[in-house]
Chain A
Amino acid sequence: MNLASGGRSRDLIVTAAASLVSLVLVAMPFGGLVKGIVLLPMVLVLPGYALVAAVSPPGTLSRGERAVHTVALSVSAAALGGLVWQFAFVLSREAWAVLLTSITLAGCAIAQRRRTRQTPIREQNRPRPPRASPGDSRLSRIELPTALTALIGVAAAIAAIVIAVDGLQEQRAESHFSALWVVPPKPNSDAVEVGILNHQGAAHEYRLEVKASGREIQDWQGRIDSHGRKRLLLGPGTVPPGARVVISLYRDGVLYRRTEMQTEIEA
């Protein structure tokens, strides 16, 4: 434990400050990867660290044990805190941020109070933590060669993930098909949405023929790029109520798919 001026613990000050800064960051209107990474500890580290500090006097836990309990009690903060919160309120983004910050600050406050109270006791009769080995209590210094080789290992792992992503995307791209659908754009809508998805791996010519109760009401022809979509919205004026709408899709001049739906009958 490092004590700042006035007997406050530096680690608790840093934890509380990080939590408040995270709360402000959550409220900021911008997003992005960096912000996402910076906010990770707000959920996975800070609440747990504060709770560990609240339940364990300094020096009683080894660093390894503290790390395990930090993560596990962070899970507790989200799981149990969320459980209690959702009985009364909705768990929105702001709610999660406020909840976890509150738990962190409360943990820090309890820890600070306990540390202040226990200082005289500790000086008189400091409990000795049960140490598994002499190396348990201190941080080992990472030498440059070890750090460099570890970095190379991380780079190789990232390369492996990139290779795996490429392989998976290539495999998926090899499945060639086109999808056709017909649905009301909204529930109970009188309009009809017709859609095409081109997953053929290349641009193709399509022709769409829409018939309502046997009468052609739309004929669209065009090119759709690879992985492109085409949506046609047929309004209530175009599609008669209670009609059977049949959609035929021609790809490169050949009948390829057919879908159908019954439109709502006018009330």
Chain B
Amino acid sequence: MSHRRKSEFGAAGLLAIVVGAGLLLVALGNNAAREEAGGAQILFWGGLVLIYAPIALRLLSPSSSRTECLTLAMLLGAGLYIVKVLYNPIGFIPHDEMATLRQTWELLETGHFFSANPVVQGYAGYPGLEAVTAALSKISDRSVFVTATIVIGVARVMLMLALFLFLERVSRSYRVAAIGVAVYACNPSFLYFDAQFGYESLALTVGAALLLASLRWTTVTVAERRVNRGGLIAAMAILAATLVTTHHLTTYALLAFLLVWALLIQIGRRGWPRPRIPPTVSMDPSAKPGYRWFDGPALPALFLAIGGALWLIFVAGDVTGSELASVFTDAFSSIANLITGQSGSKALFAAGNGQTNTAVARLLGVASIIPLLFVIPFGLRKTWLRAGSSAIWRALSLVALLYPVTLGLRLTQAGTETSQRASEFVFVGLAFVTGLLIVKLPRPRSAWRRAARPAAIAAIATIVFLGGFIVGEAPVTRQPGPYLVGAESRSVSPQALAAARFADDHLPARSRVLVDRVNATLLAALGHLDPVIGQVKGIHVSRVFFSKRYDRKDQEVISEDAIEYILVDRRFVETAPDSGFYYERDEPSGGKPISAESLRKFADLEGLDRIYDNGAIAIYDTAALRSKP
């Protein structure tokens, strides 16, 4: 009897069509949202479900082959990356992308790294992404947007591949890896934040490659270690150096993980703790004779620690401190205030100036958290209290244990950003323990249960995926739409783009300009001016916009801070900013619309030349005003 051999790719080809159909729905949904037409949300969310759910089902199915799972992991990464591209397929608009674009422009213009970045200071000290993008842009003669889209797209697909291979090698099961990548895609940063043209998007891939190399170094056979010791060490050193020069947080997160893993290996070697916790298995080199500490993850950790320290001391200490210090200080102080009762918690599922989610979205958000919280104790039990576990299993389960902590951070506005930034790392642990638990579930006896189980789990995974996106992205920026005041991507209008292009064509590069947050990113990235924020002599520079009449303090800001241009967006008087602020977080707007009088004062101010006007936006030259006493 002859029968056709089943394709190793299984349903991957068919699912490529399904992903394509999902992308079409997302594109149509976005277009409908731009026109405020009906069905925008149904098309968009339907598209997301169509991309994620069938792939998750196959990744969860025991009948899928390794080749099919590997292909689907990459297909999922690529499909969801294109969802981000569809948001704005002809240019960059998110804040961080604009900051990276400015940094890349500096490299292309000057031919040197480390130019100051007026949008996100930290980018100046981590040139990995702009180096690759600038190299590709110069060599292929394509725009930065095109080359960056390619670089991040390739990095995304490689991240999924690396994660699959890592989980597979750790668990010795491709099914754990397949389920793991399906879970990892549910992290709140996955769909948009880590798909943007930002240094973390590339660093995750470099970090995953270093993790794979560290795992190989730790678990390699004696024969290969003897033959290729130098090669393995060189690979880890190069990747560690690349990571250090690409992104601070990924470096620190990976360093922490490698240290925990190394520590658990040492604990395992000493047979501690006993008797409740069984010893780890021989996947760890600790069980082998002649093991030395640097034969394990401690060596790559040492590379990261030394590289990171040197980089901080000699290159990026200032910009890293200024970027991260405020994020973490604000997060910790807000949590401390919450605990001590000095402040209340923020309204959950509300972002910025009262923008909120629908009841269904809130329900999905909450429902997405529950299954993940549910698996953690079982994962800990499996990895810590059951025989057959290894040090890396235990380290990964500890990473998963951080998830509830990151949820706690979301109780405050300042902590939400830290929580968001941690999710891409925490979800590696969650991906592993979830995969491990699902694969180890006892096989159902009846056939229909065997068929129904993957479908049921895929349905839950889809809820986690959708809920993760809801948790991670503010309601107004999930889809494109009509112009909104102070709403990040939604505030990028043709008038703002025209003003930025005017600045690029006609104003001297790196001129100092006083401007709101959204226009600042456009002026910096496309207009190549230097937006000014913060304080001068203890006066908030945004005060110039809010004062009803131009006064001595405003003059002090203009003169002392050498402000050369002021950009006024007249649309601000129409409504309060969606994000809660127009210019900077501690501005005196109080979340209310700025008064027309405050903005009108510039029109008649002696010494201020209105050199550009497109109705919505005016740019003033302060040359004569600056020289006033």
For A118, list chain B residues within 8 Å (CB).
Answer: 227
A97: nearest residue on chain B (CB-CB)?
B139
Knowing A133-B168, A152-B20, A153-B19 are in contact, say whether A36-B611 is a contact too (CB < 8 A): no
Q: Whole-angstrom distance from the CB of B107 to the nearest CB of chain A? A: 7
CA distance A78 to B154 in the complex (A): 15
Q: Restricting to B5-44, which residues have a CB under 8 Å from any CB of A?
A: 7-9, 12-21, 23-24, 26-28, 30-31, 34-35
Q: Restricting to A34-54, which residues have a CB under 8 Å from any CB of B?
A: 35-37, 39-40, 42-44, 51-52, 54
Residues of B within 8 Å of A, CB-based: how many?
114
Is B14 a contact of A168 with CB atoms below 8 Å? Answer: no
Q: Whole-angstrom distance from the CB of B312 to the nearest CB of chain A? A: 15
Judged by a CB distance under 8 angstroms, whether B112 is at the interface is yes
CA distance A67 to B157 in the complex (A): 10
Knowing A67-B158, A69-B209, A262-B623 are in contact, say whether A164-B242 is a contact too (CB < 8 A): no
Knowing A78-B132, A148-B13 are in contact, say whether A73-B238 is a contact too (CB < 8 A): yes
Judged by a CB distance under 8 angstroms, whether A2 is at the interface is no
For B208, list chain A residues within 8 Å (CB).
Answer: 68, 72
> A-contacting residues of B (Cβ < 8 Å)?
7-9, 12-21, 23-24, 26-28, 30-31, 34-35, 65-67, 70, 79, 82, 85-90, 107, 110-113, 127-128, 131-132, 134-136, 138-142, 150-151, 154-155, 158, 161-162, 164-165, 168-169, 172, 174, 202, 205-206, 208-210, 212-213, 216, 219-221, 223-224, 226-228, 231-232, 234-235, 238-239, 241-242, 245-246, 480, 483, 493-495, 497-499, 502, 506-508, 609-616, 621, 623-624
Is B113 a contact of A259 with CB atoms below 8 Å? Answer: no
Is B140 a contact of A163 with CB atoms below 8 Å? Answer: no
For B621, list chain A residues within 8 Å (CB).
Answer: 261
CA distance A95 to B134 in the complex (A): 12
CA distance A167 to B242 in the complex (A): 39
In the complex, 13 of the A-B residue pairs with CB atoms within 8 angstroms, ordered by the A residue number, are A43-B135, A52-B235, A68-B208, A72-B206, A76-B242, A78-B131, A82-B113, A133-B66, A146-B9, A153-B15, A166-B31, A171-B480, A180-B613
Is B28 a contact of A79 with CB atoms below 8 Å? Answer: no
Is A135 a contact of B614 with CB atoms below 8 Å? Answer: no
Cross-chain contact of B227 among A89, A127, A136, A171 (Cβ < 8 A): A127
CA distance A91 to B221 in the complex (A): 42
Q: Whole-angstrom distance from the CB of B212 to the nearest CB of chain A? A: 6
Among A7-15, A56-64, A233-241, the one that faces the other chain is A56-64
Q: Whole-angstrom distance from the CB of A44 to the nearest CB of chain B? A: 6
Cross-chain contact of B212 among A65, A97, A135 (Cβ < 8 A): A65
CA distance A253 to B135 in the complex (A): 51
Is A121 a contact of B613 with CB atoms below 8 Å? Answer: no
Chain A's interface: helix, strand, loop or mixed, by majority?
Answer: helix
Is B614 a contact of A75 with CB atoms below 8 Å? Answer: no
Q: Whole-angstrom distance from the CB of A61 to the nearest CB of chain B? A: 8
For B90, list chain A residues within 8 Å (CB).
Answer: 165, 168-169
Is B82 a contact of A72 with CB atoms below 8 Å? Answer: no
Judged by a CB distance under 8 angstroms, whether A178 is at the interface is yes
Most chain B CB within a 10 A radius of its CB, from A51, A56, A160: A160
Cross-chain contact of A135 among B65, B142, B220, B232 (Cβ < 8 A): B65
Is A39 a contact of B623 with CB atoms below 8 Å? Answer: no
For B227, list chain A residues within 8 Å (CB).
Answer: 57, 118, 121-122, 125, 127
Among A137-145, A202-210, A213-221, the one that faces the other chain is A137-145
Is B128 a contact of A79 with CB atoms below 8 Å? Answer: yes
CA distance A51 to B138 in the complex (A): 22
Residues of A within 8 Å of B, CB-based: how many?
107
For A175, list chain B residues within 8 Å (CB).
Answer: 483, 493-495
Judged by a CB distance under 8 angstroms, whether A105 is at the interface is no
Q: Whole-angstrom distance from the CB of B544 to the nearest CB of chain A? A: 20
A184: nearest residue on chain B (CB-CB)?
B506
Q: Whole-angstrom distance from the CB of B87 to the nearest CB of chain A? A: 8
Most chain B CB within a 10 A radius of its CB, from A130, A150, A172, A257: A150
B617: nearest residue on chain A (CB-CB)?
A179
Is A157 a contact of B67 with CB atoms below 8 Å? Answer: no
Is A86 a contact of B111 with CB atoms below 8 Å? Answer: yes
Is A140 a contact of B67 with CB atoms below 8 Å? Answer: yes
Is A69 a contact of B235 with CB atoms below 8 Å? Answer: yes
Is A44 a contact of B161 with CB atoms below 8 Å? Answer: no
Contact code string A97-111 (vs B, CB < 8 Å = 1, else 0): 100100000000000
- Across the A-B interface, the 8 shortest Cβ-Cβ residue pairs: A156-B20, A153-B16, A167-B31, A90-B111, A149-B13, A72-B209, A146-B13, A127-B224
Q: Whole-angstrom distance from the CB of A130 to the nearest CB of chain B? A: 6
Cross-chain contact of B610 among A56, A145, A260 (Cβ < 8 A): A260
Is A132 a contact of B162 with CB atoms below 8 Å? Answer: no
CA distance A176 to B224 in the complex (A): 67
For A56, list chain B residues within 8 Å (CB).
Answer: 228, 231-232, 235
A131: nearest residue on chain B (CB-CB)?
B169
Q: Whole-angstrom distance from the CB of A174 to the nearest CB of chain B? A: 9
Most chain A CB within a 10 A radius of its CB, from B31, B79, B208: B31
CA distance A36 to B139 in the complex (A): 8
Is B132 a contact of A43 with CB atoms below 8 Å? Answer: yes
